[in-house]
Structures are given as structure tokens and as C-alpha cells.
Structure 1
Amino acid sequence: MHLGCTYLIVKDMKRSIAFYEALLNIKADSRNIERWAQFTCGNTLALWNPEYDKELIRDNSDVSAHFNEEYLKYKRENITKYGNNVILNFNVTNLNAEYERVRSLELGTMTEIFFINILCPYYCFMLEDPDGNLIEITGDYRLPGSAPFGIPFSD
């Protein structure tokens, strides 16, 4: 078994697509109306709008062409929860430059750069997507006058 892709459940497809296109600096690979968008960024990140299916079920008298009874029952019995269900971790080669790039995009709530040293030391920053999902961006970080992770350069 292998991971095919990660789905993020989103409320506003246009806003979420714009956010991830700006953050990832790539266009969505594929889109399906207002229901689905997909990005290839090391693995596959997919955005899914469950409201699309709910509207189709409400507005279409012949839903059997789209869904089986088990799916319809699932949609009736389960409430969609948005935001903070997963943390996406992206790794970049230059955390300093990526931090400045993402900050300049003004995508929303974003932290300063963190230093964390539990099992191994690393630097990262966090930001939220439009639905409140957390994104951690890690990579080589240089303090002024030092090598990555704050280790002094050896000249």
C-alpha cells in the first residue's frame, strides 16, 4: 500500500486554489468544476469541496447516476468538519528565502520562525490556509553569520 494523495476539505474552492497556487508557486494540475483541484508537489495534494456533492444531491432528482445508496446515506449521517484536521509539512532548501516569499504574499495568519529541538533540531514556520488547516514549512535556516541550524561556519 502507498499513499495516493492527501485531501484537504475546503469550503471555498476559488479562495483555496488561489491560496495553494500562491503558496506552492504552481498552478493546479487538474480541476473538476467546483468539486476538486489537484497539485503535484512531491506527492499529490488535493482540495475537495464536499458542498458540491450536497448541492448535486439536493438539486438532482436522479442522483443514482452519480452516487450509490451507501454514499447518500453517508452524506446524510455525517457532518463535514473543516480546518485543523491535518498538518501539511513542506520542506524547502532555503527557509530564510521561503519565509520572506510567503510573508510577501500576505496569505493570512503566519508565525515567526520557530526553533524546535526534541529528537533533532530544526527550524520552521507555520501558516493557516483559508479553512484553518495548519502548514509547517521547514528547511535549512541560517542565522546571520552562521551555517544552517545556527552551527558556526568553519572558515
Structure 2
Amino acid sequence: MTAQTHCPSLLSRTGAVSALTLAAVGGSLLVPGGASEAHAASAHALKALKVAASKRGAPYRWGATGPYRFDCSGLTLYSYKKAGKRLPRTAQAQYNRTRHISASRRQVGDLVFFRSGGYVYHVGIYAGGGRIWHSPKTGSVVKLSKIWTKSVRYGRVR
């Protein structure tokens, strides 16, 4: 199942979905259980996802908020700003500002927060299929990665 063949409303709402975005999520926007994650995602969440994907390969830099370098929360802040939504600067502050949702209710474009001992240390944008767009660490670049731990929480930008 691809967004192109099973989500015509996604294409009509957001215009032509870029080949980069579809390729980045493997042409598939599915949750375990079969329903498409893209159907219920808001237009701003889909745009933020597209913006993040367009920054593929941009270098990580601590404290950077774009447009050419990013840290993790800088990428989410930049992507949502381009989509018309404001977020606070840090991953913890973004977690505090979002509407918390369960993993079973996550949608493409939701934020994924990585936690350790109650502290949020990383954030990315959910791309579907258990993957996120993120700017991981010094020496790395903005990229699509599998979620590597179960110690995550999800937040929806209001």
C-alpha cells in the first residue's frame, strides 16, 4: 500500500507529495494493524514532515535552528515554523507544549520524544513505519532512522 494508491485525499490536500518524502518513508505510510497514518494527519503535520525530509543531509550542529544546520529540536522547530506552527526551542519544552498521545494513536508528522529517567533528550518527526526524520548528533546529518528504543513518547502539535 502506498500513499499514492491508497490515500488520494492526501495528495489532493497537500498537492503533489515529493518523491523524496515518499521514498524516505518507503512509499508506505502504515501503522501496525493496517490503517494508513496519513489519512488523519493534519496538513501542517504533513508539511512539517516534508520540510524535514527536504533537509536530508544537512549537518548536525548543537544549538542550530537552520536553514542549513540543525540540532534535533532545531529541526522540529524549523519544520513546524515553515508549516505555520510555533514550537519552543528545546526538546523538553516541545514535549511540554504538545498534546501527548499513545503510540497506537500516532500519526505521520507527530513528534517523537526520546526519554531517559523522565528527561527528554531527543526529538524527531514521525515519518511512518516506525521511522523518524531527525538530526541525531555531532558528526551526523539530518536523516531518516528507525526508532531504536521503546522509551519514547509521542506528541501532537496543536
Normalising by structure 1, we get a TM-score of 0.29
Query: Whose strand fraction is larger, Structure 1's or Structure 2's?
Result: 1
**Higher RCO structure, 1 or 2 (CA under 8 Å, sep 6+):** 2
Larger radius of gyration: 1
